[in-house]
Structure 1
């Protein structure tokens, strides 16, 4: 059963206890302030609930500014990699500029350590992949 953790006009966060999975549904174009505040909210949520699986639904998310992408690489990713998260499924946006930003992120972030990140076009495919067991060596 999915429990609501937080909701605003740009982000909905929910949690499935039985799967130890968090879900972020992003919507629209976010100001830098909204983007960073909600990114940090996701990190707090992951840490507080010791979440190992994450579904980032970006289908309705629009472009990410270049300065926000720089922030993700420099500030957000190191914190995310230090979190309990081990598997992240990203459902790609229909926005070409969002997709270009995500492509840059993957090119510029060379090592994700124990975190496995995969992109999907459909929610059901992402969910099926997230359900698969996490190897004990990376579940720690």
Structure 2
């Protein structure tokens, strides 16, 4: 039995105004681009302000897709007003180099915060800070 595993999918956490992008394995150009464009549309429609990009298990991003991200996609992304972008670092060194290179190039034109994380839960916690209700985390106040 052949089970198809999604390579790129989105999750929305409305109470925390958060979009999570999950990327796994080698993502084909059309899937990568459609996914990023869909993420922009969903963010705009749902008024989301925080993102987590879970690239922990993603492989290298093609050079042509890196160029597309910087030249075409980023102009749309920066208009969204995203305040926090948490990136879960890939285990793949080539993916790490691609993402850090793109972020370094784009960071001067991005007004939000960008942080890198080794773990998914740490990135979620950081992205959720200051947004929504944290009662489900077991925190208390006096």
> Does TM, normalized by the shorter one, top 0.5?
yes
The aligned length equals 127
Bigger CA radius of gyration = 2
Work out the CA distance in 1 between the residues paired with 2:8 and 2:110.
27
* Counterpart in the other structure of 2:12: 15
Q: How does 1:17-96 map to 2 (within 5 A)?
A: 17-96=14-93
Answer yes or no: is the 8 Å Cα contact 1:69–1:105 preserved in 2: yes
* Match status 1:103 vs 2:106: no
Answer yes or no: is the 8 Å Cα contact 1:46–1:84 preserved in 2: no
Work out the CA distance in 1 between the residues paired with 2:97 and 2:61.
9
Change (3 A) 1:20 1:107: closer
Structure 2 alignment gaps of length 5 or more: 132-142
Structure scoring higher RCO (CA < 8 A, sep ≥ 6) equals 2
Structure 1 alignment gaps of length 5 or more: 1-7, 135-140
Work out the CA distance in 2 between the residues paired with 1:110 and 1:25.
21
* Counterpart in the other structure of 2:136: none
Shift of 1:43: 0.9
Work out the CA distance in 1 between the residues paired with 2:25 and 2:31.
11
TM-score normalised per structure 1:
0.83
SS in 2 for 1:133: coil
